[in-house]
Chains A and B, each alone.
Chain A
Amino acid sequence: MTRFVLRRLAVAVPLLLIVAAISFFLVQLVPGSPAAAILGNTATQEQVDTLEQSLGLDQPVLSQFGQWLGHALQGNLGASYTTGQSVSDALAQSVAPTLSLAILSTLLTLVVGLVLGMAAAVRGGRTDRLVQWTGSLGMAIPNFWLAALLIFVFAIKLSLFPAIGYAELGTDGIGPWISHLVLPIIALSAVNLGQIAFQARAAFTDALSRDYVRTLHATGVPRRRVLYKHVLRNASVPVVQVTGLTFIFTLGGVVVLELIFTLPGMGNLMLRSVQNHDFSVVQGGVLYFSLVVVLVNLVIDVATAALDPRVRVR
């Protein structure tokens, strides 16, 4: 198991390097100079040159990349072109709401999706159709529209949850933290829930037809134990793997929902920076988001290996 984790880490490192390169060179695609874009149309060539020099943009691209990477490894992603604030600090301050939302939503979808998929596969018939219909509906509702609906019903009409804003888990306590996250999590989970439930349904249908189910029955293991111990574990392996794949789309949803619920997260920071043409923050943000994806996928790999010993040898 340790060797498996080490092997996965060894793959993750070059992956991160390439992602870092992509997020760096993305900005190089800007037609003309970033400095010109920052200063706008009214700037003179001299102003642009001065800014380029102060940002180090006059040096060769590769040496810029080397410098940027060297600094990035030390946790320094440079300073914001617009506010002058350290990019790392800005990102670190906004990471909590984003991760809270993404991770809680992923866990919720995983658990509820497994339950729904299991119910559909085991019971079949009407339960199956019900799960399929609700799942399809969930997948069809755009999360931003659902968010608006939730705000209208639960915040404006029923006043059950706050419509916007965020509460720190550390300073404000768990109650306010959760209540600010309930609506965004529901809005974020609806789309993925359908997908995970369908995957779980397929995985359970497959696991239920495996020969070991018959063997376990034949040795006298009761039905419930066969289902909740053996079938559940086998079926959850592919479902957990798919959760990893959907995570990148979950992060996309987070960006949208942060805007609606005005959560002070990385998504909002990115949107702001995009509007302000603040390339260094955009650059750092892409890297940060990718880091989260790689780490989450690592956790998911380890989780599947813990569930299924066959994965460990791969």
Chain B
Amino acid sequence: MTTATVPAHGTQGVGEPLAQPGRPRPRGSFATAIRDALHRPAILIALGWVVLVVVSSVLAGVLAPHDPLAQDLDNRLAGPSATYWLGTDELGRDLLSRILHGGGVLLLAALIPVVVAYLLGVPIGMFVGYVGGRADALADFVVNVLFAIPALVVVLAVSVVTDNNLPFMTVVFGVIVSGGIFRLVRASTQASRDLLYVDAARVSGVSRWTILLRHILPNVLGPLIVQGFLLYSGAFLFLTSLSFLGLGFDPQQPSWGQLVFDASAHLDDDPWLMVPIGLVLIATVAALNYLGNSLLATLPTARRARLLTPPRRPVLPPEAAAGTVPEGRRTPAAAEPADTDVPLVVEDLVVSFRTPEGGWQPVVDGVSFAVHRGETLCLVGESGCGKTMTALATLGLLPEGGAAAGSVRLAGRELLDLSEREMAQVRGSQIALISQEPMGALDPCFSVRSQLGDVVKLHRGGSRAEVRRRVHELLRLVGIPNAESVAKSFPHQLSGGMAQRVCIALALAGEPSVLVADEPTTALDPTIQAEILDLLRSLQETLGLALVLVTHDLGVVADIGDVAAVMYAGQVVELAPVDELLAAPRHPYSQGLLDAMPEDAVRGVPLPTVAGMVPLPKDWPGWCRFAARCPLAVDACREGPVPLLAVQADRTSRCIRTDELARSQELATTGVTP
């Protein structure tokens, strides 16, 4: 309802470009959205109906063919005729005229509760939401009282004590429902109060009122307008109920609820009476609700991709499966497919996402690598380079809308061809995942024991006691000495480091041979990061795991990596043993990443940086994707896609200027200026 939550990095994967839709849209887009909506026929019909109802109620005196009170006792309960277009009621009164006259007071009176609820809920909600503290606690209690009051029953009581005073009854109803508006406004205000831009305004000395009006009210306004529509239609329904019960409205004058009541007495002899009034009521409420809900859809919300795997895995159409790199230019992965020492081989992996236009946009474009037993391969690069999507594709866990092509072979078995059911059996037992946000990665509703025990039972079976013993064993394996008490905890009771250890235990429960870790330490403090890296290394040594580790930090690569694949704009641009890569990168982008690290930099001397930004997938050029930012780029770099070229026996680079790069590095280390 309120402004968008920041999407978790790990679920986004494609980085900034896709993160944008989740952000609050700029002002003006609400108005634009409304303008767009006015071109949709369904909305026009709903709006048209509401206008028609309002206008005809206002002009009832002119439009109605008969006096709504005039009785024609010869034509009682008559069906539609030329004189009485919709027929007559038990006293022979014209139904159409009664319907035309019966809505005005209702439609008008339904405005009162909305106005009252807004007058009470908005200022109080904004005020206590902003200042918090005791005022907030008090207001919250009052609202709790309001929520304990059955509205209709109290209004019944009011009707008796005020002798059926309709305005008073609607005001009381407005007070009771103001709790809902209050909660909405308070929640939006509280959410906005701690926003950083509100803090920034406070620091600048902007006054409280200006902050409320300028920075907080706009965030509250959208939901409030929508809620107004829904509240109005709710109040309208409520008042027709009152009218049906014969309360609040002048019994002499027709009103819509009363018309239904009259009709319900003749269900057996004249059911037609129900039809016109029913259709008018339903159409009016439906139109109001539809308008409100359509407005709701225009509000910015955090639309995040579903992570539940589809029952059938999506397949990229052949024309999208090749990515953008031509057939002959691709490089095969280094290893034999059936080699048992090479559990994971990825070849020409392409990951694409459905675009709103219906096409496919590649975000990973022909990635190949192989991981040996007991070896760590690091996928390294900045956000938006496709490293997370590469990792997720190996497990068949791409977010909704994504599909993979190429080849992912686990112990010689092609994973991309497996059905979802077969893939589920592979996951956990042969290949497992550790994700970036350990807190979000655990189900908050289940204890550690329950979650870990489930997975243990799934893979090994066994009695309750055996499962329990294994759970404790796993927890101790990941360096948790007090396994008993941690097993009893719920995820929200764990620290980030502890939660990540539990996540690692979950990944190890099925004894996989390949572990994929997506930025496993990024969300953690440095000393915790060091502990987790040590843990991963020791587990790898004792269990002989092949580890694929996604990171943006070359320090982490140096710590745990054996081989590194540097990724840029969906491609691997350099693949090399870590020692050699860090000592002498053979791609200008790798060099740029390394230079930007402040570790050995001297205070006061600017850090060498690469100008510009990583291009969005839609802006990838048909030649070297780094050329636009590359200090070594020449015309030849822009002639066509650059293949991965062998630089040495065990390294490849997607660069045709590696010699020049090597030369410039030599000059830099010897200190000779060219």
**Residues of A bordering B, CB below 8 Å:** 11, 14-16, 18-19, 22-23, 26-27, 29-31, 37, 122, 136-137, 139-145, 147-149, 151-152, 156, 191, 205-206, 208-223, 226-227, 230-231, 233-234, 237, 245, 248-249, 251-253, 255-256, 259-260, 270-271, 273-274, 277, 279, 282-283, 285-286, 289-290, 292-294, 297, 307-310
Sampled A-B contacts (14; CB under 8 Å): A15-B144, A22-B149, A140-B285, A142-B282, A144-B261, A209-B306, A211-B437, A212-B443, A213-B307, A214-B307, A221-B455, A223-B311, A234-B445, A252-B241
**Residues of B bordering A, CB below 8 Å:** 8, 10-11, 141, 144-145, 147-154, 156-163, 180, 237-238, 240-241, 244-245, 247, 257, 260-261, 263-264, 267-268, 271, 274, 277-278, 281-283, 285-286, 289-290, 293, 304-309, 311, 392, 395, 397, 420-421, 424-429, 432-433, 435, 437, 440-447, 454-455, 458-459, 490, 492, 503, 506-507, 509-510
Residue ID in chain B nearest A278 by CB atoms: B160
Contact of A219 among B147, B154, B289, B428 (CB under 8 A): B428
Q: CB-CB < 8 A to A222: which residues of B? A: 421, 424
Q: CB-CB < 8 A to B159: which residues of A? A: 274
CB pair B278 A145 closer than 8 Å: yes
Q: CB-CB < 8 A to B420: which residues of A? A: 223
CB pair B281 A142 closer than 8 Å: yes
What separation, in Å, do the CA atoms of A260 and B257 have in the docked complex? 13
Contact of B490 among A210, A279, A283, A310 (CB under 8 A): A310
What separation, in Å, do the CA atoms of A310 and B447 have in the docked complex? 11
CB pair B161 A27 closer than 8 Å: yes
Given the known inter-chain contacts A211-B307, A212-B441, A226-B308, please indicate yes or no for A144 contacting B264, CB distance below 8 A: yes
Q: CB-CB < 8 A to B283: which residues of A? A: 140
CB pair B510 A290 closer than 8 Å: no
Given the known inter-chain contacts A214-B397, A218-B507, A293-B148, please indicate yes or no for A256 contacting B241, CB distance below 8 A: yes
CB pair A19 B148 closer than 8 Å: yes
What separation, in Å, do the CA atoms of A94 and B373 have in the docked complex? 75
CB pair A215 B267 closer than 8 Å: no
CB pair A219 B445 closer than 8 Å: no
Instruction: Provide the main secondary structure of the chain A interface.
Output: helix
CB pair A217 B285 closer than 8 Å: no
Q: CB-CB < 8 A to B289: which residues of A? A: 136, 139-140
Given the known inter-chain contacts A144-B244, A211-B10, please indicate yes or no for A149 contacting B151, CB distance below 8 A: no
Residue ID in chain B nearest A283 by CB atoms: B157
What separation, in Å, do the CA atoms of A18 and B240 have in the docked complex? 29
Contact of A227 among B240, B308, B454 (CB under 8 A): B308
CB pair A211 B153 closer than 8 Å: no
What separation, in Å, do the CA atoms of A18 and B261 have in the docked complex? 35
Most buried by A among B267, B421, B433: B267
CB pair B157 A282 closer than 8 Å: yes
Given the known inter-chain contacts A19-B149, A140-B282, please indicate yes or no for A255 contacting B156, CB distance below 8 A: yes
What separation, in Å, do the CA atoms of A30 and B162 have in the docked complex? 6
CB pair B278 A219 closer than 8 Å: no
Q: How far is the CB of A303 from chain B (nearest CB, A)?
A: 13
What separation, in Å, do the CA atoms of A314 and B580 have in the docked complex? 54
Q: CB-CB < 8 A to B152: which residues of A? A: 249, 251-253, 255-256
Residue ID in chain A nearest B437 by CB atoms: A211
CB pair B444 A218 closer than 8 Å: no
CB pair A256 B458 closer than 8 Å: no
Residue ID in chain B nearest A17 by CB atoms: B145
Given the known inter-chain contacts A26-B161, A220-B429, A248-B149, please indicate yes or no for A211 contacting B306, CB distance below 8 A: no
Given the known inter-chain contacts A142-B260, A217-B427, please indicate yes or no for A152 contacting B274, CB distance below 8 A: yes
Given the known inter-chain contacts A19-B149, A251-B153, A286-B154, please indicate yes or no for A11 contacting B144, CB distance below 8 A: yes
CB pair A220 B428 closer than 8 Å: yes
CB pair A215 B157 closer than 8 Å: no
CB pair B11 A234 closer than 8 Å: no
CB pair A252 B238 closer than 8 Å: yes
What separation, in Å, do the CA atoms of A122 and B180 have in the docked complex? 29
Inter-chain pairs besides A142-B240, A145-B260, A297-B147, 6 sampled, C-beta below 8 Å: A19-B149, A137-B286, A191-B237, A211-B441, A274-B247, A285-B153
What separation, in Å, do the CA atoms of A226 and B445 have in the docked complex? 13
Contact of A271 among B149, B156, B238, B281 (CB under 8 A): B156
Q: How far is the CB of B667 from chain A (nearest CB, A)?
A: 47
CB pair A217 B424 closer than 8 Å: yes
What separation, in Å, do the CA atoms of A216 and B397 have in the docked complex? 11
What separation, in Å, do the CA atoms of A148 and B265 have in the docked complex? 9
Given the known inter-chain contacts A136-B290, A211-B435, please indicate yes or no for A251 contacting B458, CB distance below 8 A: no
CB pair B397 A218 closer than 8 Å: yes
Contact of B507 among A144, A219, A226, A274 (CB under 8 A): A219
Q: CB-CB < 8 A to A213: which residues of B? A: 306-308
CB pair B441 A230 closer than 8 Å: no
CB pair B271 A152 closer than 8 Å: yes
* A-B pairs, 9 with minimum CB distance: A220-B428, A252-B152, A218-B433, A140-B286, A209-B304, A211-B440, A140-B285, A213-B307, A219-B428
What separation, in Å, do the CA atoms of A237 and B444 have in the docked complex? 12
Residue ID in chain B nearest A155 by CB atoms: B267
Contact of A217 among B147, B149, B241, B397 (CB under 8 A): B397
Q: How far is the CB of A271 from chain B (nearest CB, A)?
A: 7
What separation, in Å, do the CA atoms of A87 and B271 have in the docked complex? 39
What separation, in Å, do the CA atoms of A155 and B444 have in the docked complex? 48
Q: CB-CB < 8 A to A143: which residues of B? A: 241
Contact of B274 among A148, A215, A293 (CB under 8 A): A148
Q: CB-CB < 8 A to A221: which residues of B? A: 424, 428, 454-455, 458
Q: CB-CB < 8 A to B237: which residues of A? A: 142, 191
CB pair B268 A156 closer than 8 Å: yes
